[in-house]
Amino acid sequence: MAGPGSGKGTKTAPLQRPTLRLDKWLWQARFFKTRALAAEMVETGHLRVNGQRSRKPGHAVAVGDVLTFPQGGRIRLVRVLSLGERRGPATEAQEMYLDLDAPAAAVSPLE
């Protein structure tokens, strides 16, 4: 007699990591003033998640994902560090991501 999980047709649940809607994350991280503006930008197809174009504001993002999108005349490239629970102050929002394309002025030269 075979033990549990050793027969045909048994499925193991894939590891699920916590996710958040893309438009909500962009709003909570303070890239857009309103969630509607974040959703509109996603729907235009100008945002990429891990290099793949996304047109769905409900696309799930998780810690470790890399987002690429235009903002204020420049292209933003950020890695999601946390999902956040609310739209808090700017200092809290800045802890939700790592700016992978930081301006050269922000990098201090080695002395």
For domain 20-102, the CATH class is alpha beta
User: Coil, strand, or helix at residue 43?
Assistant: helix
Per-residue pLDDT at 57: 95
Burial class (CB in 10 A: 0-12, 13-18, 19+), 19: middle
pLDDT digits (tens, 9 = 90+) for 25-84: 999 999 999 999 999 999 999 999 999 999 999 999 999 999 999 988 899 999 999 998
First vs last Cα of the chain: how many Å apart? 70
State whether residue 7 is helix, strand or coil. Answer: coil
Domain ranges, ordered by start, for the chain = 20-102
Amino acid identity of residue 97, one-letter, is Y
Residue 6 reports pLDDT greater than 90: no
Q: What is the pTM of this model?
A: 0.77
